[in-house]
Chain A
Amino acid sequence: MASSTQPRSAPTPGDVPVKIRLRNLTKSFETPSGTVTALDNVSLDIAEGCFFMIVGPSGCGKTTLLRILANLETATSGSIEISAPAENRPGNSMVFQGDSLFPWMTVWDNASYGLRLRHVPKTQIKEVVGHYLDRTGLTRFAHSYPHQLSGGMRQRVSIARAFANDPDILLMDEPFSALDEQNKLLLQEELLRIWEETRKTVLFITHSVDEAVTLGDRVMVMTAQPGRAKEIADVPFERPRSVLELRSRPAYGEFVYSIWGQLRDEVQRARARDLGETKA
């Protein structure tokens, strides 16, 4: 996709080492009605420190892709290369879609979960978790249980849990999709602010083009089932970004429109498929 400004802070495979390299990644499921191909020959390079967004119609296998990278599922064929994490930090941490906080743990225990599993020294846990609870405005709620918090607060804890674990790669599976518009905006701002501190490699899945363009360095549009990489575009906006200011720019609107153009066909195809299935 041609853009007038050179993406200064959007790393491309040319000048930054590649963090994740996918080659011909395919995943198919056996179902009673036959084999369903969720991912079809996805090849992709993601540069280190890149905030990589994946948009696609529902059921295009984007969550499957993330779950394979998170080691929660295995690919049917193809290869994944992930460069070894620095020091002895974990490879990746996932922010799940929907409620994934342990209801039996307090906010503090949830946020420190990864560090506690790795037996990180107590003083370090205190420092790191304290920092991220502070950054997400949760310090006051450290000893609350998830059921006492609103949906937005709970998703903040999920984000704090992932960041506190200090992984090499962050995997985010539509973390804001269940939130209302105002909360979504606030959390996007917060996520950008926290991410700026470390600039970890992020793989973020969304069905919202707005979210993709607002947060990402690169946006990949996926095709409807079977999921393939249709288009990868560099987001031409500099960082740090302010969500509202960015969205007020004419260039932002144009860019979102061009991505939408790519996505629209796929959404319609997915719709046609769903309607066909209900008829059959």
Chain B
Amino acid sequence: MSTPPNVIQAARLKKGFDRGRRDRLISIASPLILLLIWEIAARAGLIDQRFFPAPSKIFMTFLKLAGNGELWSNTWTTLVRLFWGTLVGGIPGLLLGVAIGLSRPLRAVVDPLVSATYPVPKSAIFPLLLLICGLGEASKIAMVAIGVFYPVLINTATGVLEINKIYLDVGRNYGANRWQVFSTIALPGAVPHIMSGIKLGLGLGLMLIAIAEMIGSKSGLGYMIWNAWELLSVEQMYVGLLVIAFLGFVLSTILTEIERKLVPWKTTR
């Protein structure tokens, strides 16, 4: 007796399902296994504990730093700087990006300026920012702002330029004024590009804030890592690195979620 086709299909489906579950299990297990190997290797003295302390020791340090509040206050300080820097850099980047995307003359003015200043390593500007803004919060916020500004500006302008010309024709034919062209066509049409600009900018901002805090600050995660080097507390350094990595991950997850809400027309339901 031959097997009915729907049974074969069901079997195939089940196999596919099992494979999906297996893949998920592997992707959860692989970092855990790596941690386990690391732990064993560190305890057995196979790797140098001065550079690669056992994960359990890092975790204990994490608990200690979390317990005395040092970790939270540093994380909070970094987040606040990141927040203000993103606003201060992102909003002008967005507005200017839309403007140069819409206006040819403005593009002619701004384009060479961006091309000339963009390649300057942002971290190299920090001493200058310290001179201008002093040792206070302003210099750190400015550092993040510069990092966020460029990707948002460039991506927004690209996004606006890539909007199909027919949409601008529709706006003109239906009598949209400048503000309405901006708010109903240029801005929403560029949102997908703007979001990737913000993501890139935040990543860069996180990098720059760490550097800025190492050099010119007595607080924040960057300072915590630098301080750990001075104290030769490698575990604390790892805790700082992990928290920064985690922040990057969480921020990008939040942005992806926001993007899904803002751009329902890019996802098929």
Contact = CB atoms under 8 A, between A and B. Distances in A.
Contacts of A118: 175
B253 interface: no
Interface string B170-188: 1011111000100011001
Interface stretch (A123-131, A142-150, A203-211, A272-280): A142-150
A102 B180 CA distance: 14
Interface of A: 70-72, 90, 92-94, 96, 98-100, 102-105, 113-114, 117-118, 145-148, 165
A117 B189 contact: no
Interface string B249-269: 000000000000001110011
B166 interface: yes
A100 B263 contact: no
Nearest to B176: A117
Given A103-B265, A145-B264, A148-B268, A96 B188 contact: no
Contact of A90 (B175, B180, B191): B175
Given A94-B169, A114-B174, 20 more contacts: A70-B173, A71-B173, A90-B175, A92-B173, A93-B173, A94-B170, A96-B166, A96-B170, A102-B170, A103-B265, A104-B188, A104-B189, A104-B191, A104-B265, A105-B188, A113-B174, A117-B180, A147-B265, A148-B269, A165-B174
B167 interface: yes
Contacts of A104: 188-189, 191, 263, 265
Contact of B172 (A71, A113, A146): A71
Select the residue from A90, A145, A165 with max chain B CB neighbours within 10 A. A145
**Chain A: interface secondary structure?**
loop
Instruction: Give 8 closest A-B pairs by Cβ, nearest first.
Output: A104-B188, A114-B174, A145-B265, A103-B265, A94-B173, A100-B166, A104-B265, A70-B173
Interface in B148-177: 166-167, 169-170, 172-176
B172 A72 contact: yes
A102 B184 contact: yes
A98 B184 contact: no
A237 to B, nearest CB: 31
Nearest to B169: A72
Contact of B166 (A70, A99, A105): A99
22 contacts: A70-B173, A71-B173, A72-B173, A90-B174, A93-B174, A96-B166, A100-B167, A100-B169, A100-B170, A102-B170, A102-B185, A102-B189, A104-B263, A105-B188, A113-B184, A114-B175, A117-B176, A117-B180, A145-B264, A146-B265, A148-B268, A165-B174
A132 B269 CA distance: 25
A117 B172 CA distance: 11
B262 to A, nearest CB: 9
Contacts of B180: 117
B56 to A, nearest CB: 50
B261 to A, nearest CB: 13
A198 B189 CA distance: 34
Given A102-B167, A103-B265, A117 B174 contact: yes
Contacts of A98: 166
Contacts of A100: 166-167, 169-170
A148 B172 CA distance: 26
Nearest to B172: A72
B259 to A, nearest CB: 13
Contacts of A105: 188
A165 B175 CA distance: 11
Interface string B90-122: 000000000000000000000000000000000
A92 B170 CA distance: 12
A98 B185 CA distance: 18
Contacts of B265: 103-104, 145-147
A96 B169 contact: yes
A71 B269 CA distance: 37
A117 B175 contact: yes
A104 B159 CA distance: 14
Nearest to B192: A104
A103 B190 CA distance: 12
A70 B167 CA distance: 14
B159 to A, nearest CB: 12
A17 B24 CA distance: 74
A160 to B, nearest CB: 13
Contacts of A113: 170, 174, 184
Contacts of B170: 94, 96, 100, 102, 113
Nearest to A110: B170
Given A96-B169, A100-B166, A113-B184, A147 B268 contact: yes
